[in-house]
């Protein structure tokens, strides 16, 4: 039997009690009002929502940004891609291996450095990217409804300032 939610003196739910949705209530303390924590939680929620859409077309959401960056920058090097994608090369390599194995990207060795590759999309990669763009546009429309059309542009500007200055 579920226990009723009780409040602490500070008005926050008490540990171990159930909230109105049947989940255990957690006192977040100052985290509840910290930008960094809320950014992380919002990113996780948005990622999960997009993940459900991406699974409908048979891929994982992390592949979308990689395919988009390769598609918009044919011949991009793995090094430039890792920087643009915010991933180190060691975590990007398995993603690229998967995309190549699935016939979605082509790796071409550079003449100057036989260890380096240039990346491009295959026709199958372009097709999958088009499907993912449709999913992403639908996802963005949903986020726009949540954020509000007017606030969206301002919100993105703020996020870009955080990216540029906090990194």
State residue 109's pLDDT score.
86
State residue 104's pLDDT score.
97
- pLDDT surpassing 80 at residue 50: yes
- pLDDT surpassing 60 at residue 1: no
User: Do residues 95 and 26 lie in contact, with contact meaning Cβ atoms separated by under 8 Å?
Assistant: no
pLDDT per residue over 64-95, tens digit each? 999 999 999 999 999 999 999 888 888 999 99
What is the model's pTM?
Answer: 0.75
Over residues 17-44, mean pLDDT: 84
- pLDDT surpassing 70 at residue 7: no
State residue 132's pLDDT score.
95
State residue 120's pLDDT score.
98
- pLDDT surpassing 60 at residue 60: yes
- The token duo for 85 is 């994608």
State residue 5's pLDDT score.
44
pLDDT mean across residues, the chain? 86
From CA 35, how far away is CA 46, in angstroms rounded? 16
- pLDDT surpassing 50 at residue 44: yes
From CA 21, how far away is CA 28, in angstroms rounded? 17
State residue 4's pLDDT score.
44
36: Cα within 13 Å, side-chain hemisphere: 4
């Amino acid at each position: 039997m579920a226990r009723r939610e009780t409040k602490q003196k500070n008005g926050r739910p008490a540990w171990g009690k159930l909230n109105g949705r049947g989940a255990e209530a957690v006192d977040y303390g100052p985290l509840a009002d910290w930008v960094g924590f809320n950014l992380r939680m919002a990113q996780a929620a948005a990622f999960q929502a997009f993940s459900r859409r991406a699974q409908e077309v048979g891929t994982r959401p992390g592949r979308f940004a990689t395919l988009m960056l390769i598609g918009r920058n044919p011949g991009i090097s793995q090094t430039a891609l890792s920087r643009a994608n915010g991933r180190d090369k060691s975590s990007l390599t398995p993603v690229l291996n998967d995309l190549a194995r699935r016939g979605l990207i082509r790796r071409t060795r550079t003449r100057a450095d036989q260890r380096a590759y240039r990346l491009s999309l295959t026709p199958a990669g372009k097709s999958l990217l088009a499907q993912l763009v449709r999913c992403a546009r639908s996802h963005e429309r949903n986020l726009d409804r949540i954020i509000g059309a007017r606030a969206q542009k301002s919100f993105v500007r703020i996020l870009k300032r955080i990216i540029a200055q906090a990194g």
